Structure 1
Amino acid sequence: MNRDKPGARRVVFTPVDTLARVDAVVRRLGDAIDLGLLADGEQLPGETDLAAQLGVSTVTLREALMALRQQGLVTTRRGRGGGSFVTVPEGPAEDRLLARLAEWSTEELRDLADHWAAVSGTAARLAAQRTEPDDLRQLRRSLGELVDAKDSGARSRLVGRFHVELAAAAQSARLTREEVTLQTELGALLRLPLGEDEHLKDSVDRHRAVISAVHDGADDRARALAEQCVQASMARLIELRLGSADGARGPRPKEAPDGQQSPSRKRGRTGPV
């Protein structure tokens, strides 16, 4: 279950975007802690090394570490054996994740949904064209573990791993790297919808359909289904972000028999299917 962890950990320490760098560092490290990529009590690299790895100044890094300390996610010790250490709070992760979700605008979430859908949809299409049936064992394994997972953190890691493995099945190193980056940026937030049993069942059914389409070599169907997996999760995140009454109840989108959203719901969708 942890075989994907080293690759994902490497992405944790790659350079962050140039805009809002303090927030980007806080989000990157905070999500990695919530995903379990950085363990409780683990020592972070020294400030100089960590700043260089993230591509930010030491001043920016110190501001980010201060914000993480205020959130209770990092503890800094001085003197011999000192440094910055990961601290996983005892309080419910859902509260922290909802606070983090509130930092995203709905426009940012929709843009991220489009990006993720494009990557996963393309990966599924190429996997259907290039993958032999015997090469789908990793995807089936991840889906089986997702069915059995009881913890929302484990569920989010497994969904992320599924999409990374789908990109790997497409035999595209670039798509695989892009999926790892997306999961590091987004993965922790997926704990929110995946903590809901109804959404989990829906997600399992959708991901099972992707495997079936890839197995059959149905490239267009595989692409559409993979995009729907992404858009369903992102739509639920947007509902939670908006805090709407409908979002609290979490209804499933109505679908036509072919699996597409019905015309009455298409106007509000977050991206192409």
Structure 2
Amino acid sequence: MPAPDAAATARLAVFAPLESRGRAETITRRLADAISLGLLADGEQLPSEPDLAARLGVATVTVREALSELREQGLIVTRRGRGGGSFVRAPKQEETAERLRRRLSDLTVADLRDIGDHYSTLAAGAALLAAERASPDDLERLGEAAEAFAGAAGIERQHHTDGRFHVEVAAAAQSARLTREEIRTQTDIGPLLWLPGADVHTRRRLDLQHREIVAAIAAEDGELAARLARRHVNESLERLVELHLSLVEPLG
């Protein structure tokens, strides 16, 4: 049987039933996260309201409320009539860059360290479990995700493929809850981590780190995989801290 596409496991987490029923804000956040990370592609049609409600285990009116909020945020558009439905509208890079810089300026170095501690612990734990649990299909998807980053052109595409790589590591850990937390974390901190951009040297180093993590998972060396994942995140955080200081010091 052919391996599923590289995003299949993560997409299952997007549409998994909610832990708490009747939570429109939970649906809104989950779909917004998936759109921001590129798990739901620009222009993609969402399932119908009844289908989405059935998948998520909530009432149709709850889904309708969530979709209304997503329309307010500009993340989906709804068309009526034949061929109609709700379609993803991915935010453009220029629409978010200035907002992200303002958000970064409002944070402190202590805030960033705290965020980094959470993210690196999550990434290390996912890599450790992936080394213990990854199937051959999971390893194939991880390799595809690493290759996607290596071939990505432009900051936005590099950001998306880096985030997708980490989501696939979490998915290889065989935990839907861990995968959803990785998606949430990627959409929360991922855009900030890519604000500094990546020169050729940095991109090559990230590419090498992805491949090293995949190799450690394939070798079932959980301790090494966890250590590499933690280092990967911490180095990205250091670049973000440098940018943060460059933004706030002129204001000091």
TM-score bracket for the superposition, by shorter chain length = 0.5 to 0.7
CA distance in 2, matches of 1:181, 1:94: 23
Where relative contact order (Cα < 8 A, 6+ residues apart) is larger, the structure is 2
Per the alignment, residue 269 of structure 1 pairs with none
CA distance in 2, matches of 1:209, 1:149: 18
CA distance in 2, matches of 1:206, 1:247: 28
Per the alignment, residue 73 of structure 2 pairs with 71
Q: Contact between 1:94 and 1:192, CA under 8 Å: does it hold in 2?
A: no
CA distance in 2, matches of 1:147, 1:183: 21
| Identity between Structure 1 and Structure 2 (%) | 39
Structure 1 residues 126-205: aligned runs within 5 Å: 139=142, 142-166=145-169, 172-174=173-175, 177-189=176-188, 190-194=190-194, 196-198=197-199, 200=203, 203-205=206-208
What TM-score results when the alignment is normalised by the length of structure 2?
0.65
RMSD of the TM alignment (CA)? 4.6
Per the alignment, residue 30 of structure 1 pairs with 32
Q: Contact between 2:124 and 2:226, CA under 8 Å: does it hold in 1?
A: yes
Q: Contact between 2:6 and 2:142, CA under 8 Å: does it hold in 1?
A: no
CA distance in 1, matches of 2:58, 2:123: 29
Per the alignment, residue 266 of structure 1 pairs with none
Structure 1 residues 79-158: aligned runs within 5 Å: 79-88=81-90, 92-95=94-97, 98=100, 116-125=119-128, 139=142, 142-158=145-161
Per the alignment, residue 253 of structure 1 pairs with none
Q: CA offset at residue 74 of structure 1?
A: 1.6
What TM-score results when the alignment is normalised by the length of structure 1?
0.61
C-alpha spacing 1:11/1:214, structure 2 compared with 1 (3 Å): closer
C-alpha spacing 1:66/1:115, structure 2 compared with 1 (3 Å): same
Aligned partner letter, 2:245: A
CA distance in 2, matches of 1:178, 1:154: 26
Unaligned runs of 5+ in 1: 250-273
Per the alignment, residue 254 of structure 1 pairs with none
CA distance in 1, matches of 2:76, 2:100: 19
Residue 62 (1) aligns with residue 64 (2) = yes
C-alpha spacing 1:165/1:88, structure 2 compared with 1 (3 Å): closer
CA distance in 1, matches of 2:5, 2:60: 32
CA distance in 2, matches of 1:168, 1:45: 22
Q: Contact between 1:164 and 1:179, CA under 8 Å: does it hold in 2?
A: no
C-alpha spacing 1:201/1:76, structure 2 compared with 1 (3 Å): same
Q: CA offset at residue 209 of structure 1?
A: 4.7
Q: Contact between 1:43 and 1:84, CA under 8 Å: does it hold in 2?
A: yes
Q: CA offset at residue 197 of structure 1?
A: 0.9
Partner-residue secondary structure (3-state), 2:46 = coil
C-alpha spacing 1:11/1:40, structure 2 compared with 1 (3 Å): same
Residue 226 (1) aligns with residue 225 (2) = no
Aligned partner letter, 2:55: Q
Aligned partner letter, 1:143: A
Q: Contact between 1:16 and 1:54, CA under 8 Å: does it hold in 2?
A: yes
Unaligned runs of 5+ in 2: none
Count of residue pairs brought into register by the alignment:
238
